[in-house]
Amino acid sequence: MEPIEIAQGVYDVGVTDWNVRDFHGYSTDLGTTYNAYLIIDEKITLIDTVREGFAGQLLENISRIIDPKSIDYVISNHSEMDHSGGLARVMHRIGADKPIYCSKMGHKNLPKHFTPGWNFHPVATDQELSLGNRTLTFLETRMIHWPDSMFTYLNENQILFSSDGFGQHYAGPEKFDDQIDDATVMYHAKKYFANILLLYSAHIQKLLQKVLDLGLDFKMICPDHGIIWRKDPKKIMDAYVKWCRQKPHKKAVVVYDTMWHSTEKMAEAIVAGIAKEGVPAKPLHLRKWHRSEVMTEVFDAKAIVVGSPTLNNQLFPSLADFLTYMKGLKPLNKIGAAFGSYGWSGEAVKLINQELEAMKFEVIDPGLRIQYVPDKAALEVCYEFGRKIGKAV
């Protein structure tokens, strides 16, 4: 994409990755962006870079505005390689002696990725950097979502460069929140939170409060992925405050896989029983839904019902994968239940319960097992199992 002036003398010079479809286990069916920002002042400043393979596009975008050698300062808000991968090529082009401002933890990380001989300047919260007519303030935001993460605030323009905070893995023709409908951008923002930041909710809540306590006004929030928030930055800030609380909706998801459709039939009967109690419920087949899409549905659901056939005395592989993935994200305030069909052993339900209990879910039933193909009477049992779950939501 071409550089876009987002405020006077402030440009998005980042790039669009239209073709990425997996981001360390997260589905990116619409691609993503690696946003980087250029501030033109007495001291020309670049905030973040891009993934390594896109560094040439980044430098080309910068060249449409100024000679990259004119850059005086580089800010590294986050050392993860989708934002720092292009740093080596940028430093080679602009001069390896140019100052790189990063957090203290960033100062530990970046030399392990690149050469330790660069001119690093570690900074702390509230530390300022004058660019001439404008001033940057740094805010350490550890675990949003790495220990090195920080925000950078352009005081005079009231712009927050928020690194991985408030972002979305979304690539499209739109650049700003007023160019895309709310439902679309908020879905992608929620998916990003549910799959990347959920684990750190309690910590993020405290950090956001610290940011709010600083009394800063935000005319624009510029994340390193996806849409820039200029129409209503408060909308995404308020959403994060709400999401961090993890207060579930009256909603259930039934996550399952199936070998010969027996567990699938059970899942559909359970969903019908839950719905009978006035609770929205959705069956999610794990070979039809990506784990990150399932996790987005799980995020705000009260009841998580998990079904698996038994394979070699174990969980079906897709269920083992998803439960491991969900456990790492540590969702809170859930009730859970397990079900599954089996042939001659039937350990899957017990194994699911063990995983749900390890995640501190309130397991509301010992679980439901049906041998081989469920008949009409067995499906009625599944339906009543669903009703019991619906009443507990």
**Catalytically active residues, by annotation:** 24, 78, 80, 82, 145, 164, 192, 225
Contacts (Cβ under 8 Å, ≥6 apart) of 168 = 185, 188, 189, 191, 192, 223, 225, 226, 227
Q: What is the largest CA-CA distance in the chain?
A: 78
Q: CB neighbours (10 Å) of residue 328?
A: 11
Calpha distance 17→32 (Å, rounded): 5
β pairing state of 135-140 and 128-130: antiparallel
Report CA torsion sign: 357, 359, 362, 363: negative
Calpha distance 87→39 (Å, rounded): 17
- Which residue type sits at 339? F
Q: Is 141 helix (H, G, I), strand (E, B) or coil?
A: coil
Please, are residues 390 and 277 in contact by the beta-carbon 8 Å criterion?
A: yes
Calpha distance 279→302 (Å, rounded): 10
Beta bridge partners of 337: 305
Please, are residues 12 and 175 in contact by the beta-carbon 8 Å criterion?
A: yes
Calpha distance 17→328 (Å, rounded): 27
β pairing state of 150-154 and 159-163: antiparallel
Calpha distance 2→16 (Å, rounded): 10
Helix H segments across the chain? 55-63, 81-84, 87-94, 104-113, 182-192, 201-213, 233-245, 262-276, 291-299, 317-329, 348-358, 376-392
Please, are residues 89 and 56 in contact by the beta-carbon 8 Å criterion?
A: yes
